[in-house]
């Protein structure tokens, strides 16, 4: 699974500084600030867990990502480690967000490495802080009119309502509850307006809460699993990938052997009782 959020306020915080540093160049070897969003549920395990079952494991994995980035000397800021997103393909899942200052080559390599480690189909990167020429996609920002927080249950209800009508939109909630975002990553729903989402909220959510919807563009790109090998080879992360491969082979082989032995043992026990 994958996720890519924009966090409009984080964007404003870093935008002016980044433009000053990088104006007039598109050099991929120039350090810029990217936002990496990581999910941790393996792609083939989508929709098999609820958030409560996996939240502690996800948080621990995000802490390990922090340790890893610190150890290899990458400049970063952990923004949110306990957000959730919802898509029609992968269901509801937790994700963490990191602002990382490095070259484009390195961010691709890091995304690929984490993507392999967490068995993700793809990893999303927000590049709105950069001068890179990535494509824009549409995002709808939902907040309460009075600035109050959107609680977890209301966020899930909003997600279910909007995504049932517009399944191509990807829902994401800020962990503080200040806002929600609905992304049209592939620009498949150009006809959707602010008014469409506002009407859905007004008709289906508590009349005691007034919401507002804003529409804006986000610049982003994906590192898909087909890109992982090449992206890692272009960085100095190849040795770490080999360790990952060793670990994954070890886990896969011993799990399969364990299951095989278990089946044989069960058959033996059943036979002894006949």
Residue 184: closest CA among 139, 122, 124: 139
* pTM listed for this prediction: 0.77
Q: What is the pLDDT of residues 40-71, one digit of tens each?
A: 888 778 778 777 788 888 999 999 999 999 99
Would you state the pLDDT for residue 5? 52
Would you state the pLDDT for residue 132? 86
Q: Are residues 211 and 141 in contact, defined by beta-carbon separation less than 8 angstroms?
A: no
Q: Are residues 214 and 194 in contact, defined by beta-carbon separation less than 8 angstroms?
A: yes
The β-bridge partners of 125 are: 36, 221
pLDDT, greater one: 231 or 246: 231
Please report, for the chain, the start and end positions of each structural domain, with discontinuous segments joined by +: 8-236, 238-274
* Neighbour-count burial of 93, counting CB atoms closer than 10 A to its CB (0-12 exposed, 13-18 middle, 19+ buried): buried
Average pLDDT over every residue of 128-141:
90
Task: Give the lowest-confidence range in 95-99, 165-169, 223-227, 253-257.
Answer: 253-257
pLDDT, greater one: 248 or 196: 196
Q: Are residues 181 and 139 in contact, defined by beta-carbon separation less than 8 angstroms?
A: yes
- pLDDT over 70 (residue 30): yes
Q: What is the pLDDT of residues 204-240, one digit of tens each?
A: 886 678 899 999 999 999 999 999 999 999 998 888 8
Q: Are residues 95 and 173 in contact, defined by beta-carbon separation less than 8 angstroms?
A: no
Would you state the pLDDT for residue 184? 92
């Amino acid at each position: 699974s994958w996720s890519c959020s924009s966090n409009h306020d984080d964007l404003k915080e870093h935008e002016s500084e980044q433009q000053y540093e990088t104006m007039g160049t598109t050099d991929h070897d120039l350090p810029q600030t990217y936002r990496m969003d990581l999910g941790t549920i393996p792609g083939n395990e989508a929709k098999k867990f609820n958030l409560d079952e996996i939240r502690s494991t996800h948080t621990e994995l995000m802490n390990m990502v922090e340790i890893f980035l610190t150890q290899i000397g990458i400049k970063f800021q952990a923004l949110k480690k306990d957000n959730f997103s919802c898509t029609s393909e992968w269901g509801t899942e937790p994700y963490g967000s990191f602002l990382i200052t490095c070259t484009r080559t390195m961010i691709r390599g890091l995304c690929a490495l984490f993507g392999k480690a967490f068995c993700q189909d793809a990893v999303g990167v927000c590049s709105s802080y950069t001068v890179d020429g990535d494509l824009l996609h549409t995002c709808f920002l939902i907040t309460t009119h009075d600035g109050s927080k959107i609680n977890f249950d209301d966020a899930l209800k909003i997600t279910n309502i909007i995504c049932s009508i517009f399944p191509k939109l990807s829902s994401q909630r800020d962990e503080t509850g200040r806002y929600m975002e609905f992304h049209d990553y592939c620009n498949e729903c150009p006809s959707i307006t602010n008014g469409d989402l506002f009407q859905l909220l007004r008709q289906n959510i508590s009349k005691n809460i007034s919401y507002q919807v804003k529409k804006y563009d986000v610049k982003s790109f994906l590192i898909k699993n087909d890109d992982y090998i090449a992206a890692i080879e272009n960085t100095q992360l190849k040795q770490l990938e080999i360790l990952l491969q060793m670990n994954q082979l070890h886990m896969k082989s011993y799990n399969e052997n364990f299951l095989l032995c278990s089946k044989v043992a069960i058959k033996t026990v059943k036979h002894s009782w006949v």
